[in-house]
Amino acid sequence: MCMNCGCGKPDDRHGNAANLTVDDLRQAGEANDQDLRTTARNILEAVDIVDGHGAGGAQRGTPATES
């Protein structure tokens, strides 16, 4: 839906390249060997951390992204 606006159309950018599509999320997940659901869950958890509601400091990610 442009995944961020809530319109229910996951493949439509509505003419604005800044809108996220399901393909964007899939590509991000594939970069870390994750499925779409895992990628979306990780994004939600990251938002919680940014907003101060998450478990800050917890080691997360995939072996390719950990440093």
Q: Which pTM does this prediction carry? A: 0.70
Q: What is the pLDDT along the chain (67 residues), one digit of tens a residue?
A: 588 999 999 999 999 999 999 999 999 999 999 999 999 999 999 999 999 987 655 556 666 665 4
Q: Whole-angstrom Cα distance, residue 65 to residue 17? A: 26
For residues 3 and 24, the answer to whether their CB atoms sit within 8 Å is yes
Q: Whole-angstrom Cα distance, residue 10 to residue 18? A: 14
DSSP per-residue string spanning the chain = -HHHH-SS-TT--TT-TTS--HHHHHHHHHTTT--HHHHHHHHHHHHHHHTT-S-TT---S-TTT--
